[in-house]
Amino acid sequence: MCRRKNILLTLGLHLCAVYAHEDSLLEVDFCQYYYRNPASSEPRYPDCSDVKAKVVSNETRTLPTLELGEPGAKALFFIHGWPDNAAMWAAQFAHFCFNGSFYCVAVTLANFHPDFPDADPDKELKITQQLIEIHQTMLEAHLVDPTLVVHDWGSVIGYEMLHRYPAVARQIISFDVGSTVSSESWKLNLTYQEQNREAWQQKNDSKSVGSAIYWEAPAPLRATWRTSWPYEYNLSYRGFIQHPYPPASVPLLFLWGNMTRGEPRQANTIFFGPHWLDFVRSTPHGRVVEVDSDHWMHVKSPRFVNNAISAWLNGY
């Protein structure tokens, strides 16, 4: 089924397939916002245009994906958070999948893809429905020995996926967001979530975009009102009772950035506490990596992050 906004509405289903390669996330976001080419030293990274040329946009999967590599290779499956999308993982695609070592598949969640129409809050935006659709997308891609790679709100989703669908991945690599329900995160400054709720209610892009600019998101203009659906709010109303932690039996690599807005990060901007780090270290092969970068460390410090992931994956 074709769900693309512009083409579906104006030209009809038939032309959908013809223009399916024109995915804004691949054409614009991948190289313009997210691939900060980590030049010079080893390993040498390819030019973004060379990586992009090999990436496949598949908009007929249950959720739209960007994919790179041989489907038979070991899989890395990526879930983004607010206000990003599948293109955010450009530097990980370049490091792990351009050379054929892994098969990268990244989804874009409902309302985060600019080419798709607004999702129905009581259908696609229900968190339980998002989980079903992510799972379905993973099955369709026939992933081999998958590792989940998750960031921000995608981390919360990833932890829950492992409870609901234990076969979905063997291990998980998570960025910046730990347990969000434990008492240790009480002091968190969640003003941006309040701003997002207002943006959503008023359909006011400048509120959510303003928040994304403040926090130095790599693609702040993608933070349109509809990406700010109140995901961390009214969760139980939306049929989502969150587990406090991911399953303790699943190997977990946790990376977090120790800076924000160019300054050492203050406690009230950190999405976890000491208990979370203890939990991470208690999982099999559990490891915590502190990165000299911010919330978007995998975009802004890709070399350090990619090398840390490689070391962990090779350390078994």
Instruction: Rule CB under 6 A: choose which of 32, 49, 128, 258 binds ligand NAG.
Output: 258
Stretch that binds ligand NAG, among 72-80, 82-90, 146-154, 290-298 (CB under 6 A): 290-298
3-class secondary-structure state, position 291: strand
Which two three-digit tokens encode residue 314? 């090779």
136 contributes a contact to ligand NAG by CB under 6 A: no
Q: Are 114 and 1 in contact (CB under 8 A)?
A: no
How crowded is residue 50: how many other Cβ atoms within 10 Å of its Cβ? 11
Nearer to ligand NAG among residue 72 and residue 247 (C-beta): 72
Sign of CA dihedral 223, 224, 226, 228: positive
Instruction: Rule CB under 6 A: choose which of 32, 128, 234, 282 binds ligand NAG.
Output: 234
CB of 80 to ligand NAG, least distance (A): 19
- Residue 220's nearest CA partner among 197, 196, 201, 198 is 196
Instruction: Rule CB under 6 A: choose which of 13, 72, 290, 311 binds ligand NAG.
Output: 290
Instruction: Rule CB under 6 A: choose which of 291, 299, 305, 309 binds ligand NAG.
Output: 291
CA dist 10 and 236 (Å) reads 38
Q: Give the Cα-Cα-Cα angle 155, 156, 157 (nearest 5 degrees).
A: 90
Instruction: Rule CB under 6 A: choose which of 10, 39, 40, 237 binds ligand NAG.
Output: 237
144 contributes a contact to ligand NAG by CB under 6 A: no
CA dist 297 and 305 (Å) reads 7
Alpha helices per DSSP H over 177-314:
191-202, 205-214, 274-282, 297-300, 302-314
CA dist 40 and 105 (Å) reads 27
CB of 169 to ligand NAG, least distance (A): 18
37 contributes a contact to ligand NAG by CB under 6 A: no
Query: Residues in contact with ligand NAG, total (CB under 6 A)?
Result: 29
Regarding beta strands 144-151 and 171-175, do their DSSP bridges make them parallel or antiparallel, or are they unpaired? parallel
49 contributes a contact to ligand NAG by CB under 6 A: no
CB of 183 to ligand NAG, least distance (A): 19
From residue 185 to residue 224, the character string flagging contacts with ligand NAG as x (rule: CB under 6 A) and all else as - is ----x-xx---------x-x-xx--xx--x----------
Query: How would DSSP label each residue in 112-154?
Result: --TTSPPPPTTTTTSHHHHHHHHHHHHHHTT-EEEEEEEETHH
Instruction: Rule CB under 6 A: choose which of 114, 230, 246, 273 binds ligand NAG.
Output: 230
Q: Within 70-129, which residues bind ligand NAG (CB under 6 A)?
A: 95, 99, 101
Cα-to-chain-centroid distance, residue 76: 12
Residue indicated by tokens 């994906």 = 65
50 contributes a contact to ligand NAG by CB under 6 A: no
Nearer to ligand NAG among residue 214 and residue 247 (C-beta): 214
Nearer to ligand NAG among residue 32 and residue 266 (C-beta): 266
Alpha helices per DSSP H over 32-143:
48-54, 90-92, 127-140
CB of 69 to ligand NAG, least distance (A): 11
CB of 8 to ligand NAG, least distance (A): 17
Cis peptide before 244 (omega within 30 of 0): no
Nearer to ligand NAG among residue 95 and residue 222 (C-beta): 95
Point out which residues bind ligand NAG (CB under 6 A). 43, 45, 56, 58, 60-61, 95, 99, 101, 140, 189, 191-192, 202, 204, 206-207, 210-211, 214, 230, 234, 237, 258, 264, 290-292, 310
